[in-house]
Amino acid sequence: MKKNLAALAGIYVLCLALVSLLWQRPLVLAGGYGLLSLAMLYKWHTRGDLAFYFVAFTLGPAGEMVAIRFGAWRYAEPFYLIPLWLPLLWGIAALFGKRITEVLVATRQSP
């Protein structure tokens, strides 16, 4: 359990570090998030994991594009309304959320 939480904390810190350091280089950041996505999906690849990843990968950015089109906000380095790396981050965030919830629920249920 502690090992799982440590791995998830590492993913969280890595995502923050990548975006903080590379947001001005969207292709490099997309590559980093792409590699992280592949690593996460290699480790966690049940049908549920894949569904969480790809639904968020698609619907998260689509929702943001609608909001941006109506003037809610804008990104500093957009590709087409959104940054190139954003769909990957949405997928990572969904899979991260699913996994951390599973770990926390399992922790709570163990004696």
Of residues 53 and 109, which shows the higher confidence score?
A: 53
**CA–CA dist 17, 11 (Å, integer):** 10
pLDDT at 28: 98
Domain residues for the domain of 82 are 2-109
Provide the strand spans (E) within 2-111: none
Cross-strand bridge partners of residue 82: 80
pLDDT tens readout for residues 36-59: 999 999 999 999 999 999 999 999
Check residue 71 and give left, alpha or beta (phi > 0: left; psi -120 to 50: alpha).
Answer: left
Q: What is the pTM of this model?
A: 0.91
Residue 32 pLDDT exceeds 90: yes
pLDDT digits (tens, 9 = 90+) for 84-102: 999 999 999 999 999 999 9
Backbone angles phi, psi at 59, to 5 degrees: -75, -35
- Per the structure, how many domains does the chain have? 1
Dist CA 68 CA 57 (whole Å)? 17
How much is the mean pLDDT over the chain? 94
pLDDT of residue 111: 62
Are the beta carbons of 92 and 40 closer than 8 angstroms?
A: yes
3-class DSSP assignment, residue 107: helix
